[in-house]
């Protein structure tokens, strides 16, 4: 069972950690962890998005993971002992995946690999917290959605649809009917 206090703390940290406003995290996590979080926010592409460190905060072990796509500098935080993933804007629940200054293929990859991790609780940047099987279902749906929209846009372009008419020809509503419930 995840303590409610921890979920509230992690939800509050999501915006702080993932937007790079890290000074207020120092008192909670300490200077050593803050430096590792700073390392995770560097916008350097790394094949496979490996973690940038595994700091400990008191009794908790945090795995800092690069999850770009929504934005180029996205990170997520995995609280290992209770299997909580604080995903920030990499994962939003209840809505379709959104791109800020990121890239759809990169966001798809960032959604796919956490779906294979042993995540019990997903704390998204937007939307309700998910638990259990709903975590993998949602992450896989988001990755599939991005891939399918990209494939349909590519096909419409190959079919000769003008760019200014493209949005009207991709059946987004069809994908929305597949939203996990």
Residues 33-71 as b/e (b if ≥16 CB within 10 A, e otherwise) read bbebbeebbeeeeeeebebbeebeeeebebbbbbbbbbb
pLDDT band per the 50, 70, 90 thresholds, residue 130 = very high
pLDDT band per the 50, 70, 90 thresholds, residue 55 = low
Q: Are strands 84-92 and 121-126 parallel, antiparallel or unpaired?
A: parallel
pLDDT tens track for 11-48: 444 433 333 333 333 444 444 444 444 443 333 333 33
Rounded to the nearest integer, the mean pLDDT of the chain is 71
Q: What is the CA radius of gyration of the chain?
A: 17
| Stretch 62-84: mean pLDDT | 84
d(CA 92, CA 21) in angstroms, rounded, equals 20
133: helix, coil or strand?
helix
Containing 44, the helix (H) or strand (E) segment is none
Partner residues linked to 92 by β-bridges:
126
- The pLDDT score that the predictor gives to residue 132 is 92
pLDDT at 171 over 90: no
Partner residues linked to 64 by β-bridges:
77
- Residue whose tokens read 């966001």: 107
Domains and CATH numbers, the chain: 4-176 (3.60.15)
With a CB cutoff of 8 Å and minimum separation 6, the contacts of 30 are: 57
Structure tokens at 59: 């009794």
Q: Considering the entire predicted model, what is its pTM? A: 0.65
């Amino acid at each position: 069972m995840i303590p409610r206090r921890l979920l509230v703390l992690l939800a509050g940290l999501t915006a702080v950690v993932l937007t790079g406003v890290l000074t207020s995290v120092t008192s909670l996590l300490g200077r050593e962890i803050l430096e590792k979080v700073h390392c995770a926010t560097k916008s350097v592409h790394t094949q496979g998005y490996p973690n940038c460190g595994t700091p400990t905060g008191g009794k908790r072990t945090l795995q800092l993971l690069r999850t770009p796509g929504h934005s180029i500098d996205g990170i997520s935080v995995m609280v290992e002992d209770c299997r909580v993933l604080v995903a920030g804007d990499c994962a939003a629940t209840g809505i379709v995946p959104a791109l800020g200054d990121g890239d759809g293929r990169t966001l798809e990859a960032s959604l796919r690999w956490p779906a294979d991790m042993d995540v019990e609780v997903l704390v998204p940047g937007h939307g309700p917290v998910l638990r259990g099987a709903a975590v993998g279902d949602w992450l896989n749906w988001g990755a599939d959605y991005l891939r399918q929209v990209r494939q349909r846009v590519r096909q419409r372009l190959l079919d000769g649809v003008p760019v200014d008419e493209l949005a009207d020809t991709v059946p987004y509503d069809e994908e929305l009917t597949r939203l996990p419930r």
